[in-house]
Structure 1
Amino acid sequence: MDWSYVIINAIVLACIYGTLAISVSITWSSLGLINMSFGFIFSFAGYGAWLAAQYISPNGVVILASGVLTGALGGVIVCALAFIPLHDKPNFTIRGMIATLAISLFGTQALLWYFGPRVKSIPPVFGYGSIKVFGSTMTYDKVGAVVASILMLTAVLLWMKSSRRGLEIRAMMQNPHAAAIVGIGVRRTGFSVMAITGGLTGLAAVLLSQTYYLQAFGGITPMIKGLSVALCGGLGSVAGVVIAAGI
């Protein structure tokens, strides 16, 4: 067995699923929402990137940006349908989980109805070619997946540490009640959180779909794996999620 090949693929998948897991963790720790609609957002963003590649441009930057923006739009839609109406209701955790699961089921069926059961393929975002890493061949799509995931997560974490809105999200993650008392709007912050986590999910969708394939129910397995990684690393702990993704 070529262990270097196994390790390289493990690193690539860890970066992609780790991106999803951090989205799950941020959503839970800041909003108290177990978002079961990440599978739908994943597929929704993937189809957005595919449409951009078909009708706008096959350029990698356009495809990546389209996936991230479509994922952010999906997150905002879920926030408007599930978080805003329910966040101040009793048993919000259970109600929110059921609502997002319903959105996921309805949304994936809508995608299946519109795009059909045939799988779609996204053009290679990072071009064709390969490099040698520890004696094993690593294609550009895998190299790009690792680099793009790390850069995106770094940018999000830096934004959360330096910007006003990012600090509001961190305050919500640490103590939602105290954040509300000092005037941090729960609804406004909710839209920001869902847009950011949706964008991260959209990035993961493009990075994974360019290597494998895209279909309506293709986001279910990544969502389950992302949720599993988030639970193993500890919901709310970004460092724990990163370690769990590597494991």
Structure 2
Amino acid sequence: MKILVSVKRVVDHNVKVRVKSDGSGVDIANAKMSMNPFDEIAVEEAVRLKEKGVATEVIAVSCGVQQCQETLRTAMAIGADRAVLVQTDEELQPLAVARLLKALVDKEQPGLVVLGKQAIDDDANQTGQMLAALADLPQATFASKLEVVDGKAKVTREVDGGLETISMPLPAVVTTDLRLNEPRYVTLPNIMKAKKKQLDTVKPEDLGVDVKPRLKTLKVTEPTKRSAGIKVPDVATLLQKLKTEAKVI
């Protein structure tokens, strides 16, 4: 069984991003880029399934600019067997990515597609669900535990009320949550091995997919800065300030 894993190149989670002066977006010039943390968990889970003998091949996929090759090399250093880059300079939105992944699913015919539940740059949490709808596949989101037995995926997922366990036939789409696993440390020998692994590059037009943006960003602004907290001498003063200054009661 093949496992297809989607990975995204995002600004490193340790970097404090800044909004461009014209409000058109986030300034990523000279910012450190890395793999989306949720996608790193997805790659780790796919590799673990291969190590258990459940899967025979793990294919990492990324959509975006040429520099996404670095992210794919990281995925292969974790343990993916080969990678595919859908290269485009167009701004990709979740629907476009889902359509590109659907085209690759049709081509590769994987038994399981694993994605991070969301990307830390746009927090859209849409691509996995859209892919499942377009490919007409069963889906399980926010997975905190994943088992594949007898052609079925058993997924424990996090919901508002606690945990929910579902079973679904393969092929299927699964999106990963933070508690699913702890990604392994990428060693230097594995990084060197990843450089020799196969990395194919295709264009959206090769897959017959239109990736033009359908949503327009009107303005990006930084969150309002919070004022410093103050100490009050007693409960009466606290209530007065909550009523007159904060106006929350």
TM-score, normalisation: structure 2: 0.29
Tell me which structure has the larger Cα radius of gyration. 2
Higher relative contact order (CA 8 A, sep 6+): 1
Higher helix share: 1
